């Protein structure tokens, strides 16, 4: 569901750092997230309540 792209150049140079790795959602992932704002799932806080 996630397409990883390392941002390599057309010259074949490696990426500058791992933090520049890109991720794109696939079409299926976009469809899964389409109605996330409609509160169809009861979300709960994580283990320490920070999110």
Active site residues: 20
Do the beta carbons of residue 18 and residue 4 sit within 8 Å?
no
- The Cα 51–Cα 31 span in angstroms is 24
The count of other CB atoms within 10 Å of the CB of residue 29 is: 13
């Amino acid at each position: 569901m996630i397409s990883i792209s390392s941002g390599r150049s057309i010259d074949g140079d490696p990426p500058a750092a791992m933090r520049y790795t890109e991720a794109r959602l696939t079409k299926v992932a976009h469809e899964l997230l389409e109605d996330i704002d409609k509160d169809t799932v009861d979300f709960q806080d994580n283990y320490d309540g920070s999110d």
